[in-house]
């Protein structure tokens, strides 16, 4: 669980900003979205292959 302790005399805006940063760094939302629906194994494999192709293409573009 993500949480922060609000300091004395700390503006609520600053505390909220700290909370949002901590929340994003913990990747809670990304994990939730990943688990919220079922992805067939064949689709996972296809996405993984496409990701590898994009990464390889990016590496070859940087070398040029």
Domain ranges of the chain: 12-63
Q: Do the beta carbons of residue 2 and residue 18 sit within 8 Å?
A: no
List pLDDT tens digits, range 11-59: 999 999 999 999 888 988 888 888 898 989 999 999 999 999 999 999 9
**Nearest CA to 10 among 21, 19, 23?**
19
pTM: 0.50
CB neighbour burial string for 19-34, b if at least 16 within 10 angstroms, e if fewer: eeeeeeeeeeeeeeee
**Nearest CA to 18 among 7, 29, 28?**
7
């Amino acid at each position: 669980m993500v949480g922060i302790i609000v300091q004395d005399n700390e503006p609520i805006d600053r505390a909220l900003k700290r909370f949002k940063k901590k929340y994003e760094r913990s990747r809670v939302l990304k994990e939730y979205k990943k688990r919220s629906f079922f992805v067939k194994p064949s689709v996972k494999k296809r996405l993984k292959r496409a990701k590898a192709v994009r990464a390889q293409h990016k590496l070859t573009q940087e070398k040029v």
